[in-house]
Amino acid sequence: MRLGPVLALGLALLVGSAALAGCATGTLATPEPTTPPSPATSAAGTATSGPAIIVTVPDLMSATTAPAPASAAASVAPAPPAETVAEVSATDPVAEAPDEPAPDEPAPASQEAPAPAPETAPTAAPAAEPPAPSGDALNVSLANCDSCTVLATHRSVTGDLSAALVSTGSGRAILLSVAGDGQVSGVIGVPYGAAFTSPGGGVLACAQGRCVVEGRQTDGRAILSAFELSETGAWRDVSGDDAFPSATEQSAVIDLDGELAIAVQDQADGAAVWLLYTWGGERYAVVGCAADGPAPASVGAVTPEKCLS
């Protein structure tokens, strides 16, 4: 059966419109982006193996960090409490939302439609706690100091009080005495050294109520200092006048049958020698020296004759 010219043209237009509609609804549609997994998902999948003691760094340590620029601090106003916000929004006419046109009235052409409120992202789960360390180390998590890092800890230095060596940033460090519930009993700054690193295993060298801190001078040479922890949690600096600087990059903390000894190097024009300091009841004193090489491991390995002065 032959179709008339007009009828054939109409069918052709109908078929073309259907094809274009299929393209608009199929191949030209943009797929929705795939949302990446949130931090909460990845954190939830991390297992923990032990609780951490939450330690709040004292407010006085905020002075050790660089203050924010005055312009930046002035541009951010503190947020009022939640009760104040609710009260102001309910009574203050300035805080009320501007009048919106009625649903059946079109918005003015010059006024853009308000953008939809962004979706509130789910609150990320807290970071998984690290596994509880064994032995003399203590699992410490810091609060109130974003720039602080735990360098080393030691459990039960004096009674049930533990020690935590904390870097506050900018080459500064503090010693905290921490109770079993995370309460800080005492804090002291470590003024000897321009840089501090974590010792092996993250365990601070402590014995007989005293702890030795290893640091670096500005030129990279080693320097050691010692602090004593009282039963009340207060620290006492027992480092002497200038602590124990080394003439080289080498130093050592030596265990002498449960008592800590300090070894640093001295040097004149020739080879360096080791100086061995032991605790004498109130302070550390040199008991002898040894030739350069491995650090002396006992009092018998040093003699006063080996000392340079």
- Are 192 and 207 in contact, with CB atoms under 8 Å apart? no
Helix ranges (H only) for the chain are 5-25, 39-44, 70-75, 82-91
CA distance 231 to 251: 29
Contacting residues for 57 by C-beta, under 8 A, at least 6 apart:
142, 143, 144, 145, 148, 166, 168, 176, 184
Tell me the one-letter amino acid at 181: D
pTM of the predicted model, to two decimals? 0.61
Tell me the one-letter amino acid at 60: L
Q: Does pLDDT of 36 surpass 50? A: no
Contacting residues for 118 by C-beta, under 8 A, at least 6 apart:
none
CA distance 184 to 195: 24
Report pLDDT digits (tens) over 66-105: 333 333 333 333 333 433 333 333 334 334 444 555 555 5
CA count, 13 A, side-chain hemisphere, 12: 7
- Are 217 and 245 in contact, with CB atoms under 8 Å apart? yes
Q: Does pLDDT of 31 surpass 70? A: no
Report pLDDT digits (tens) over 105-151: 554 544 555 555 555 444 433 333 334 444 789 999 998 888 999 99
| 171, 176, 181, 182 alpha-carbon torsion, rounded to 10° | -20
